[in-house]
Amino acid sequence: MEKWKINWSQVRYFPKLNPNVIQERHEKVIECLVKVGVIRGDQLRNMFFRGKKSKVKQMEHYGMIVRHELVSEERSIFFYTLSAALIEEYNGLVIRDYKRTAVSAIIERLVFLDTVMKFDEFKPIIQDSNEPPFVGVIKIGKNQIYTGIIYQNVQEWQHYFKWSPNDRKRNILLIADSLDHLEPLETPISNYLNQNSRLRILIRREKERSFYIWNGFNWVKE
């Protein structure tokens, strides 16, 4: 597993933001970042600006967002957070201090946005779950999908499936790099599930959107 660190931008001065430059598309980005906190450059341009890099640069130029770098030995990834100037402009805007957040939690949120994009044709709405270890909720129509990322938090999920009551109406989607990563969860998931459970697995690196379910013995494609 790659080891990551974050180079946070040390911006000491933010020009006062001109509220007149904030357009409807920008407000949608702001709404997303209030809920998720971080977003990669490619996610930002593809989710909100039809792939136009210039629009991302424009938001950075106007002081709405700040770019940071996620770095491993093999590669680096740029991502963005809301700027202090924008937080000041939107009085009362509640923003988490992501600089004190574990690197793994940042990665989980970026993977969560990748997952949201897989459902783009259904016009998904992002909601905050306020219920760890879930990262967020993807709302499609009337359905709320509680979404979690299997990364460095297997013990949290073991605890969840052991002690949380099974809400038969809850749709749960777990994202993993491979089915092998789910092996430590097979016993607690078996004890958690019942005939009416709605738990699905999505393998992050598979191009097609295929779901897996637990049949009591193995993970099988739905």
pLDDT (tens, 9 = 90+) of the chain, 222 residues, equals: 678 999 998 765 556 677 788 899 999 999 999 899 999 999 999 999 999 999 999 999 888 999 999 999 889 999 999 988 777 767 666 666 777 788 999 999 999 999 999 999 999 999 988 899 999 999 999 999 999 999 989 999 999 998 887 776 789 999 999 999 999 999 999 888 875 578 999 999 888 888 999 988 899 998
Q: Are residues 109 and 211 in the same domain?
A: yes
Q: Are residues 150 and 126 in the same domain?
A: yes
- The number of distinct structural domains making up the chain is 2
Q: Are residues 114 and 217 in the same domain?
A: yes
Spatial neighbors of 222 by CB under 8 A, at least 6 apart, are: 200, 210, 211, 212, 213
Strand partners, 67: 80
How far is residue 220's CA from residue 211's CA, in Å, rounded to a whole number? Answer: 8
What CA–CA distances, in Å, run from 152 to 76, 132, 197? 19, 14, 25
Give pLDDT, residue 213: 94
How far is residue 105's CA from residue 36's CA, in Å, rounded to a whole number? Answer: 11
Whichever domain contains 81, its CATH number is: 1.10.10.10
Q: Are residues 155 and 195 in the same domain?
A: yes
Q: Are residues 71 and 121 in the same domain?
A: no
Q: Are residues 71 and 137 in the same domain?
A: no
Q: Are residues 54 and 136 in the same domain?
A: no
What CA–CA distances, in Å, run from 126 to 34, 107, 134, 197, 215? 11, 17, 13, 22, 29
Helix (H) or strand (E) holding 188: helix 186-192
Q: Which domain, by its residues, includes 188?
A: 102-221
* CB contact at 8 A, 78 and 67: yes
Q: Are residues 92 and 132 in the same domain?
A: no
How far is residue 139's CA from residue 218's CA, in Å, rounded to a whole number? Answer: 28
Q: Are residues 114 and 83 in the same domain?
A: no
Token couple for 7: 């180079």
Give pLDDT, residue 49: 96
pTM equals: 0.92
The residue from 101, 125, 157 where one domain ends is: 101
Q: How many residues does the chain have?
A: 222
State the residue for tokens 């299997």. 150
Tell me the Cα Rg of the chain. Answer: 19
Q: Are residues 62 and 114 in the same domain?
A: no
Paired sense of beta strands 143-149 and 171-176, if any: parallel
Whichever domain contains 216, its CATH number is: 3.40.1350
Token couple for 14: 């933010």
Give pLDDT, residue 140: 97
How far is residue 11's CA from residue 109's CA, in Å, rounded to a whole number? Answer: 23
State the residue for tokens 């006062």. 16
Strand partners, 174: 148, 201
* CB contact at 8 A, 179 and 210: no
Give pLDDT, residue 100: 78
Other beta carbons less than 10 A from residue 26's beta carbon = 19
Q: Are residues 130 and 56 in the same domain?
A: no
Nearest to 82 by CA among 102, 99, 105: 99
Q: Are residues 118 and 217 in the same domain?
A: yes
